[in-house]
C-alpha cells in the first residue's frame, strides 16, 4: 500500500523512534520533533478528524496500525480542539471523558530542557481547555439570567465560584449587560470589597465599564491581585488628565504601597508633564515603600523639568539623592542604548 510505504520511509528517516514501537503500535515512543512532524504530514489527518462521530471512531483512530503514532495523536489533538466550537450537549460524555484521561505517547525533547521529554500533542491538556471553555460559556449564560433578575446577587455567586473559568464567564456577561445592571453589581460588590478583596476582578471590570472615579478610588484603597493592574491601565485611558491626576494624588496619599506602584506604572506616562503629579512623585523619592518605584517611573522618558528637578536633588548622601541619581543614570543609559540601536 502507498500509505504503508510512506509510513515506513518516515520511520526510517526518524531514527529517534523507540524500538518498542516496532513491537507494539500503542507503546510510548520518543521522537525528535522534525521526524514526528514528517510522520504527521505523511497522512491526511483532516479527513480522519472529520470522520470521528463517537467514541468507537475515536478508538479506531487511536489504534489504527497503518498510521505512525505522531499522525494518530495529531489527529486526536486536532479533533479535541475542534470540540471547543460546539456546546457540551453536542459531545458524547464518554468521548470527553476518554480525552481527559488520554495518556500521550509521542514524546519529544523539551525545547528548554533537552534532557526531559514532553508530549508532542498534549491531548489531555487540550481536553481540559475545552471543558474550561464550556464552563466559561455556561457561567456567562447563568450570569446573564441573574443580571436580568437580581444583579446584586452576582458578587456573592462570584465569590462562591471555585473555578477561574466560572469567574471569567461572570465577567464576560458583564460586558454584555446594560449599564444599570452593571451599576447594580458594582454597588453590591463595593459594599463587600473591603472584607472580600477576591472581588477585585469583578469591581475592576465594572469600573472600566462605568468609568466611575469612586469605584477607581475603592480599587486603589481595597483592591488587590488579579485584574487590578489591567483595570488601572484601562481607566487611565478613559479618564482626562485632570481625573487621572486626581486619582494619582489619592493613590499616593491613601492607597497601599503595592497599589500606588501599580497606579504610577499605569498613569505616570500620561502625567509626566503635569507639574503637580511630578512634584508628588519627587516628594516620595525618600519613601521606603515607594521610593524605588518612583525612581524607576521618573527615569522613563523624563522631560526637561523632571531632569532639572532630579539634578537638584542628586549628588548627596540621602536616600532621595541616591534615588534621584539612579533615575538620571537609568534615563541616560536608556538614551545611550537608543543611540546604539
Does residue 180 lie in a domain region?
A: yes
Q: Give the domain-ending residue among 121, 156, 171.
A: 121
34 vs 21: which has the higher pLDDT: 34
Confidence of residue 334 (pLDDT cuts 50, 70, 90): low
pLDDT, position 99:
97
**Do 178 and 231 sit in the same domain of this protein?**
yes
Confidence of residue 86 (pLDDT cuts 50, 70, 90): very high
* Closest C-alpha to 156, from 194, 206, 196: 196
For the segment 173-231, what is each residue's pLDDT rounded down to a tens digit?
999 999 999 999 999 999 999 999 999 999 999 999 999 999 999 999 999 988 899 99
pLDDT, position 28:
78
Tally of domains in the chain? 2
**Do 58 and 159 sit in the same domain of this protein?**
no
Does residue 186 lie in a domain region?
A: yes
Does residue 260 lie in a domain region?
A: no
**Do 87 and 12 sit in the same domain of this protein?**
yes
- 135-152 mean pLDDT: 97
**Do 47 and 113 sit in the same domain of this protein?**
yes
**Do 8 and 113 sit in the same domain of this protein?**
yes
**Do 69 and 114 sit in the same domain of this protein?**
yes
Average of per-residue pLDDT values in the chain: 89
**Do 44 and 90 sit in the same domain of this protein?**
yes
**Do 152 and 99 sit in the same domain of this protein?**
no
**Do 156 and 84 sit in the same domain of this protein?**
no
Least confident of 9-18, 30-39, 148-157: 9-18
Does residue 316 lie in a domain region?
A: no
Does residue 117 lie in a domain region?
A: yes
- Give the count of beta carbons closer than 10 Å to the beta carbon of residue 320: 20
130: cell is 475545552
- 36-55 mean pLDDT: 95
Does residue 141 lie in a domain region?
A: yes
CA 158 to chain CA centroid, Å, is: 19
Are the CB atoms for 320 and 291 separated by under 8 Å?
yes
Does residue 188 lie in a domain region?
A: yes
Confidence of residue 29 (pLDDT cuts 50, 70, 90): confident
Spatial neighbors of 82 by CB under 8 A, at least 6 apart, are: 49
Spatial neighbors of 275 by CB under 8 A, at least 6 apart, are: 305
pLDDT, position 113:
77
For the segment 232-246, what is each residue's pLDDT rounded down to a tens digit?
999 988 999 999 999
pLDDT, position 250:
97
**Do 189 and 86 sit in the same domain of this protein?**
no
Tell me if the pTM is above 0.75: yes
pLDDT, position 4:
35
Q: Which domain holds residue 204?
A: 131-239
**Do 28 and 101 sit in the same domain of this protein?**
yes
**Do 140 and 235 sit in the same domain of this protein?**
yes
Residue 66 has pLDDT above 70, yes or no: yes
Query: What is the distance in angstroms between the CA of the first residue and the CA of the last residue of the chain?
Result: 57
105: cell is 505517547
- Percent of the chain at pLDDT above 90? 82
Does residue 254 lie in a domain region?
A: no
Are the CB atoms for 30 and 16 separated by under 8 Å?
yes
For the segment 279-331, what is each residue's pLDDT rounded down to a tens digit?
999 999 999 999 999 999 999 989 999 999 999 999 888 999 999 999 999 98
Amino acid at each position: 500500500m502507498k500509505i504503508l510505504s510512506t509510513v515506513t520511509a518516515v520511520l526510517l528517516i526518524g531514527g529517534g523512534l523507540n524500538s518498542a514501537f516496532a513491537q507494539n503500535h500503542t507503546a510510548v515512543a520518543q521522537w525528535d520533533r522534525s521526524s514526528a512532524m514528517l510522520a504527521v504530514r505523511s497522512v491526511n489527518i483532516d479527513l480522519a478528524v472529520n470522520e470521528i462521530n463517537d467514541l468507537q471512531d475515536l478508538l479506531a483512530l487511536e489504534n489504527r496500525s497503518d498510521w505512525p503514532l505522531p499522525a494518530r495523536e495529531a489527529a486526536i489533538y486536532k479533533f479535541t480542539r475542534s470540540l471547543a466550537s460546539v456546546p457540551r450537549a453536542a459531545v458524547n460524555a464518554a468521548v470527553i471523558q476518554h480525552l481527559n484521561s488520554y495518556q500521550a505517547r509521542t514524546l519529544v525533547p523539551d525545547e528548554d530542557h533537552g534532557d526531559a521529554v514532553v508530549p508532542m500533542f498534549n491531548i489531555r491538556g487540550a481536553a481540559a481547555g475545552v471543558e474550561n471553555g464550556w464552563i466559561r460559556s455556561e457561567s456567562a449564560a447563568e450570569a446573564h439570567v441573574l443580571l436580568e433578575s437580581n444583579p446584586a446577587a452576582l458578587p456573592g455567586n462570584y465569590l462562591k465560584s471555585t473555578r477561574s473559568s466560572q469567574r471569567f464567564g461572570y465577567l464576560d456577561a458583564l460586558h454584555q449587560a446594560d449599564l444599570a445592571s452593571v451599576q447594580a453589581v458594582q454597588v453590591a460588590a463595593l459594599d463587600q470589597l473591603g472584607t472580600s478583596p477576591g472581588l477585585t476582578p469583578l469591581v475592576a471590570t465594572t469600573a472600566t465599564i462605568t468609568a466611575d472615579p469612586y469605584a477607581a478610588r475603592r480599587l486603589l484603597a481595597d483592591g488587590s491581585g488579579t485584574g487590578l493592574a489591567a483595570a488601572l491601565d484601562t481607566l487611565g485611558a478613559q479618564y482626562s488628565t485632570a481625573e487621572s491626576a486626581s486619582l494619582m494624588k489619592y493613590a499616593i496619599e491613601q492607597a497601599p504601597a503595592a497599589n500606588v506602584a501599580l497606579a504610577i506604572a499605569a498613569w505616570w506616562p500620561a502625567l509626566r508633564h503635569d507639574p503637580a503629579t511630578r512634584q508628588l512623585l519627587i516628594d516620595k523619592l525618600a519613601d521606603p515603600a515607594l521610593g524605588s518605584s518612583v525612581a524607576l517611573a521618573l527615569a522613563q522618558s523624563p522631560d526637561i523639568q523632571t531632569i532639572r528637578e532630579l539634578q537638584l536633588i542628586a549628588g548627596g548622601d540621602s536616600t532621595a539623592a541616591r534615588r534621584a541619581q539612579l533615575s538620571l543614570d537609568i534615563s541616560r543609559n536608556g538614551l545611550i542604548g537608543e543611540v546604539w540601536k
